[in-house]
Structure 1
């Protein structure tokens, strides 16, 4: 009887955990994936530009604007461009230069953004794309859903073995 009760509780816990893991695992995974990929941007996805120069920002791409001058401030503006100031010390590298991230830029229509930075450092734009977030999203969902599913399977095994044990003992009638 104990196996039956534990099995039912484990199945219910697995269902509740899977629902929570679907949301939390996805959100946390996407965030972790993007943070992990910021420092590992391929050099071909980084474009060095001059302050005040325009750069194309494709749809479904997150572009990070950075400068080699840590005291600089950078902004990006243009039609259909959303720019959010960033802080927290994120950096990326190209050709031995370390760029501190100052803005996150997204385009709703594949527009051109004009990047303006104060300071004397070099300026670069790094494209992350959605694949950076999707890798972390997959890992987050795998963990967030995998553990509750395993608990649910264990609960099902306990429930079945409890029912079989109960029937075999003759106390099931």
Structure 2
């Protein structure tokens, strides 16, 4: 004979499991979706700013400089800060050279002289480039490799993807636990 519970006996309801995992998994997916858009840009900007602040220009001693430009680097052209607003620079060997004149507030000090960048250039292939800056007594070149920026962009993509996969796993685990309970 089977044992029966008396009428009116209170039974605790079965506990539903997995709700926290579903909530945190869903929030993680949303956060990582946003991170997938923001992180690569933020990482690239931060690394590029650090690279620009750490570049050391090499003075030429004249108003013209010829150097070997690499396609895997950005090259910044500096003039003494006192001459930055009056300097006008031109690229003489300009085949495949993208020259962007721009005076910025970032400065670098070399041998007691403060230099300000007046433009940047990049090349499509490794070549020799000559830059002449009228109105400047000295032209300096600073080079920044773009490899670090590319690595930062990749890391900025990989971290949100890995965390997003973990959030999806947490969500699935929560759904399975919820259905089983």
* TM-score, normalization by structure 2: 0.69
Structure 2 residue 84 is matched with structure 1 residue 70: yes
List 4+ stretches of structure 1 deviating above 6 A. none
Tell me how far 1:115 sits from its aligned partner. 1.0
* TM-score, normalization by structure 1: 0.71
Question: 2:103 aligned to 87, 102, 119, which one?
Answer: 87
1:128 match: secondary structure: strand
Q: How many residues align?
A: 162
- Contact kept? 2:107, 2:114, Cα under 8 Å: yes
Structure 2 residue 167 is matched with structure 1 residue 159: no
Structure 1 stretches of 5 or more lacking a match?
Answer: none
Between the aligned partners of 1:74 and 1:38, the Cα distance in structure 2 is: 20
Between structure 1 and structure 2, the one with the greater Rg is: 2
Structure 2 stretches of 5 or more lacking a match?
Answer: 1-14
- Contact kept? 2:29, 2:164, Cα under 8 Å: yes
Mapping of residues 99-118 of structure 1, within 5 Å: 99-118=115-134
The answer for the alignment partner of 2:63 in structure 1 is 51
Q: CA RMSD in A?
A: 3.4
Between the aligned partners of 1:31 and 1:75, the Cα distance in structure 2 is: 27
